Structure 1
Amino acid sequence: MALCALALGAFAIGTTEFVIMGLLPQVAGGLDVSVATAGNLISAYALGVVVGAPLLTAVATRLGRKQALLAFLVLFVLGNVATVLVPGYAGVFASRVIAGLPHGAYLGAASLVAAQLVGPARQATAVARVLMGLTIANIVGVPAGTFLGQVFGWRAAFLVVAVLGLLAAAGVAAFVPALPKPEGVGLRTEVVALGRKQVVLGLTTAVFGFAGVFAVYSYISPMLTELAGLSDGAVPVVLALFGAGMTAGSLIVGPLADRALRPTIYGSLAALAVVLVVFWFAIDAQWSAVVMTVVLGAVGFGVTAPLQVLIMQKAGKAPTLAAASNHSAFNLANAGGAWLGGIGIGAGLGYASPAIIGAVLAVVGLGIAVAAGMLDRDPSGAEPTDAEPAEPVDAAESVERVG
C-alpha cells in the first residue's frame, strides 16, 4: 500500500506534466493567446522541475522523508489549484512553475523511500513500481484529463489532478512509515555526494540517453500523420499504446536491474539506439509505425529506474539530492532532445530525422555509461560509496511503533 500511495503521487505528477499538451488549443482560447504562446506553459512546468528538484530537496534536508513527501505533495496541490483559479496568462504561467517545483523532489524522495521499504535485493523493482505511476499516467491520466478538459473546460483537468494529489498525500500519511532521517547527513553532505564522479556521470548518461527518446517523442504526432498517413483521430490511440509500452518496459526492466544493474543500463541504451534506427526505416508504413512507437515506449523508458538506483547507490549515505537531480536531468533531456530534433526538421532533413539524431544521442549516453562502468572497475579511479545495505522496513510495524 505504501508503494501504491507513492505511485499515485507519481501518477498525478505525470498527468499534470503531459495533459496540457493535448489541451493547448483550449488553453490558448481560454487565455486569449496563440497556441505557440500557450506552449510556453509546458516550458514553465519544466523550468519548475529543473529548479525545484535541487532547491526543494536542499530545503527539506532537515525533514524526515515522510514529512518531505507530504510537503512536496501539498505544494503540488497548491500549484494545480492555482492553475484552476488564476485568471490570466501570467498567473497561469507562474502556477505551472509552482506545480513543477516539487516534481523531481517528490520522485527522488519517493524512490528512496521505496528502496528503503524493500531492502537492497529488490530496490530497482520497487523504484520501477513507483515510477510506473508516470507511465500509467500516459495511458489513463492524460487521455482522461484531455477528455475532461475538452468537455468541461481545460481547467477541469487540473482540478482533477489536484484531487489526485490530495489522495496521494492521504495515502502517504496513512501507509508510508515515518522513516528516520539518516544521521550525520546535512545539506553539505548531500552537495558533496552530488559532486561525486559516478553521480555526475550517471546524471550525464540520463541527459543524453533520455534526450534520444524525446528527440522523437516531441514530434511523434506529425510523424504519424505526415509520414505514416494516420488520421489525427488515431494519434491519441497510438500515444496510449506508447504509454502501454512504457509500462511494460518498466515491469520488465526492474527485476533485470536487481540482478545486474550496469548491464541492464547498457542493454537499455543499446536497444534504444537500435530501435531509433529501425524507427527511421519503419515510420513510412502505418502498421510498422504503430509497432515501433510501442517498442520505443518500452525501451526508451527502460533506463529510468536503473539509472535512478545507480545514482542513489553512488551517492552513498546522502542520496536525496542526487536522486532528485536525476529528474532535473531527465527534464533537461526533454528540452534538449526536442530542440535537437527540431534542428533536424528545420534544416530540411524531414520529420524522420529526429530518429537518427536520437540514435546518436543514445549512443553517446551508452558511451558515457560504459566509461563510468570501466572507471568503477579501476581501483585507482573508483570512489567509495560508503553505502550501507538498507534493511527492509515493515510499513505496518513501523507505523505502529511511531503511532
Structure 2
Amino acid sequence: MQTLLSEQAALLPRAAEAESILRSCVHCGFCNATCPTYQLLGDELDGPRGRIYLIKQVLEGHAPTARTQLHLDRCLSCRNCETTCPSGVDYHNLLDIGRAVVDAAVPRPLGQRLLRKSLLGMVPNPGLFKAVINTGEVFRALLPEVLQAKLPRSVRPAGLRPATRHRRQVLILEGCVQPSLAPNTNAAAARVLDRLHISVTPISQAGCCGAVDYHLNAQEAGLNRARRNIDAWWPGIENGAEAIVQTASGCGAFIKDYGHLLRHDPAYAARAAQVSALARDLVEVLRDEPLEQLGVKATTSIAVHCPCTLQHGQKLGGAVEQLLTGLGFNLTPVPDSHMCCGSAGTYSLTQPELSRQLRDNRLNALESGQPQLIVSANIGCQSHLDGAGRTPVRHWIELLDDTPG
C-alpha cells in the first residue's frame, strides 16, 4: 500500500515501523472474513482493512476524530486477522502506534477517562484488585448484574505449593488478577511441574506483565513494568532457569513481545530479547514432558476455548487440545474455534455490548457438544465466559492436578 507519512508522523519514534507495516498491506480484505467486530457490525471501518486505512490517513496528515477513535477502540486486538493475512501484516503493532497518535489528538469524554484511569490504577495492582473483589463479594446482591458477572462464581483455594527441590527450575509469572480470581491455577501448575521433576522458583518482585497499561495507551507505563520484570527475573535466569512460564496466555503474548518493544532501549534490549526467548506458555513446557507418569484419569467431557492470545498471538492453536486428547480426555467439537470470546483484557468493560455478544456467541459454540466443563488458557477468557453463569469454566491445568478441590 503506497504511503507518504506527514512531516509530523515521520518524527514519531516508530515511524519507520508504521510505514513498513502499512506498505505490507495489499488491501485484499481476507482479514475481514475472520474479524469478530466486522462479523458483528458489518462496517468496513470496524474491520482490520478499514482500521489500517484510518491509521494510514492519520499518519499522512488527516486530522483524526472521535469517530476514528471509536473504530480503533472497537478492535479487540485478537490478532485473528494476522493469522488470516496472506501478506503477514503486523497489524497489532500498527494498531498500537495508531491508537497512541489518535489518543494524543482526540480528548476522550470524562466518563471514558475516569473508567480508563480506574482500570489502570486497579487491574495491574494485585493488592488493590483483591480488595475490590473482596468488597464486591460482600455487596454482591446490591450490585447491578453487569458488575456481578465480573465477580468469580466460585474461587478454588490454591492449596500448598511444593518446595523448590529439583535440578530443573523455571520461573513463573504470578499475574495481577489471577491470584484473586483463580489462585489455584499457578498452584496447580507448580504441583504438576513438581511431579515432573521441575521446580518453580518464586519471584515475588515480578508483577503485572504490562499489557493492561500498554493496551490502554499508557504505553510507557507498560514498558516500565516490563523493565521491572526483567530486573526481577534476571538473577533467576543467571542461575539457570530454563523458562519463564505463563499460565495466562495474554501475559505470555505480551512478554514474548518484550524483545520487540524494547529493542531500541540500550539498557534493556539484550535482556528483553533473552526474556522473550525464554518465555513459554505452560502448554509449551508440558507437551514435551512424559505426562503419562501423572496418571491422569480423564473422565470429564470438555470443550476447549483456545484464547486468541494463544492461537493468534503465540501461534499455539491446537496445542492444549492435542495435549488433553493425548491424555484421554473427550473433547467435544467447537465450531468457529478461531473466534474471540470478547474478553480481550479490559474490553469487556470498555466495550460491554460488543463483548457480551461475542461471549454469548462463543458459549453457544462451546456448549454445542454438551460438555460437562469448559477449559481455557487465559484468566481473562476464563472469568469472562464463566461470568455468564452457564457451563463452568476453569484453567486446563487443573485437570492434570491430583489435589482435590
TM above 0.5, yes or no, is no
Q: TM-score, normalised by structure 1?
A: 0.22
Q: TM-score, normalised by structure 2?
A: 0.22
